[in-house]
Amino acid sequence: MADVTEGAQAPDFELETAEGPARLSDFAGRTLVLYFYPKDDTPGCTREAQDFSALAPEFAKAGATVIGVSKDSVKKHQNFAKKYDLAVRLGADPEGAVIERYGSWVEKSLYRRQYMGIDRSTFLIQDGVTRKIWRKVKVPGHAQQVLDAVKAL
Active-site residue flag, 45: yes
Question: How far apart, in whole angstroms, are the C-alpha atoms of residue 102 and residue 123?
Answer: 9
pTM: 0.95
Q: Torsions phi, psi of 37, nearest 5?
A: -140, 155
Q: What is the pLDDT of residues 125-134, one digit of tens each?
A: 999 999 999 9
Question: How far apart, in whole angstroms, are the C-alpha atoms of residue 83 and residue 80?
Answer: 5
Q: In this predicted structure, what is the pLDDT of residue 2?
A: 63
Question: How far apart, in whole angstroms, are the C-alpha atoms of residue 52 and residue 128?
Answer: 21
Q: What is the pLDDT of residues 87-124, one digit of tens each?
A: 999 999 999 999 999 999 999 988 989 999 999 999 99
Higher per-residue confidence, 143 vs 3: 143
Task: Write the DSSP assignment of 46-111 as a string of letters.
Answer: HHHHHHHHHTHHHHHHTTEEEEEEESS-HHHHHHHHHHHT--SEEEE-TT-HHHHHTT-EEEEEET
Q: In this predicted structure, what is the pLDDT of residue 31?
A: 98
* DSSP state for residue 37 in the 8-state scheme: -
Q: What is the pLDDT of residues 50-83, one digit of tens each?
A: 999 999 999 999 999 999 999 999 999 999 999 9
Q: In this predicted structure, what is the pLDDT of residue 3?
A: 75
Q: Of the residues 4, 45, 55, 88, which is catalytic?
A: 45
Q: What is the pLDDT of residues 2-57, one digit of tens each?
A: 679 999 999 999 999 999 999 999 999 999 999 999 999 999 999 999 999 999 99
Nearest to 68 by CA among 101, 85, 94, 45: 45
